[in-house]
Chain A
């Protein structure tokens, strides 16, 4: 007699509304095998970038790949094209770009923490974190003029400058947030019912993180020091006070803590950037058409985002390849599910912070 039961999680299933399917092979409550399938939705973004839109417009197209890390997508694309055009932005532009990316990381991490709390059955905490996340979105809206689609980065610079009023607003909101994050850290560390759901659950060992190529907070929670911010020199992260955040236990608790500590680090970086903004133009003229091939990696909130751009000196590009962090992290995610309880699966999944909008592009 067959001893195992197959339970799907996702695509069109009630507990996961996004276009991805995990099929669990369960023995009683324990998951012993996992099968993942993405590709229920295809939006054809990459093809659109090489057919319909000119290279100056593609930055606005790729920003629509994802609502949460729109700025990371447009930044990676813009960096790649600027490499092809042989242009390097001045420090002010780089700092402003970094500021937006870090603000984005803060609110994206908070969203993930909220979802992990929700999936562990702590709805009130979900509401609370979402409310605390709002001031960060307000800052981004004030800087860029829109809440979600910032359209802030364009080839050769950024579209808006930071005014003294804005700097004051950033300082005010970040100061309030930083107190709240401290309280959250306390809560995540000491709350008894949360610890039942988080500690020792969904463990990814360092060895597996290495073998299955985990990335982003998932890898750093397992102790694997992988962060594009420390590996690439496209943006001067060292100068604004970046530190690598590492945990060792590799469970949901560790992933939450990587995120919380990264928020603290990002807040410090944002303050540094606002206080020490170099002088310079915010928009420079870039001439020419992209010719050749460039690869850019940027650390998105969920891990490494990879862009390949190839042009042949025409207005329309030849190839735009986007590899998103969630997609690259799926093998490691599958590994984490094995051996855990089926009831924990939603919380484990939420702790990966999967972004299906990125994956189904």
Chain B
């Protein structure tokens, strides 16, 4: 017991275990799994990343002219890296950075906006396929 009392006294002079956050930045280790980054130039729009993503954080919006628009939800993402492993052009079209995502603010309306976008993507696909089908049957009839 005297030993532990001595220890308790000595502990007063030992360096701190805690890090001093938020005054001091947290040091992230090398290879920290951070945000997913994307380059539309290199992407071949195969949709593989969208299909494998467990929470559905990557969505493509189908435009009428056949092009697709990429959108990524950094708050929904679990940073698992499945999309990068599935991508046929990893490190060029899609890669994982070491930046940490900041918490979302209420004003940003993260969820609401994403739900709108999700619905829009769904609708855009359906509209596109029906339009395509219609065009096909149209040409067949001619």
Contacts and interface: CB of A to CB of B under 8 A. Distances in A.
B54 A154 contact: no
B17 A142 contact: no
B1 A60 contact: no
Contact of B81 (A127, A131, A141, A151): A151
Contact of A142 (B8, B29, B78, B81): B29
Interface in A55-74: 56-57, 60-61
State which size class the interface on A falls in.
20 to 34
B54 A60 contact: yes
Contacts, number: 52
User: Does more than half of chain B's interface fall in helix, strand or loop, or is it mixed?
Assistant: loop
A146 B32 CA distance: 6
B43 interface: no
A39 interface: no
Nearest to A144: B33
State which size class the interface on B falls in.
10 to 19
A53 B32 contact: no
A341 interface: no
Contacts of A60: 54, 78, 80, 82
Interface of A: 53, 56-57, 60-61, 124, 127, 131, 134, 138, 141-142, 144-146, 149, 151, 154, 159-160, 165, 187, 191-193, 283
- Please name the 3 residue pairs, one residue from A and one from B, whose CB atoms are nearest each other, closest first: A145-B33, A131-B17, A57-B54
Interface of B: 1, 4, 8, 11, 17, 29-33, 52-54, 78-82, 85
30 contacts: A56-B82, A57-B52, A57-B54, A60-B54, A60-B82, A61-B54, A124-B11, A127-B17, A131-B17, A138-B29, A141-B29, A141-B32, A142-B29, A142-B30, A145-B31, A145-B32, A145-B33, A145-B81, A146-B32, A146-B33, A146-B79, A151-B78, A151-B79, A151-B80, A151-B81, A159-B85, A160-B31, A192-B1, A193-B1, A283-B85
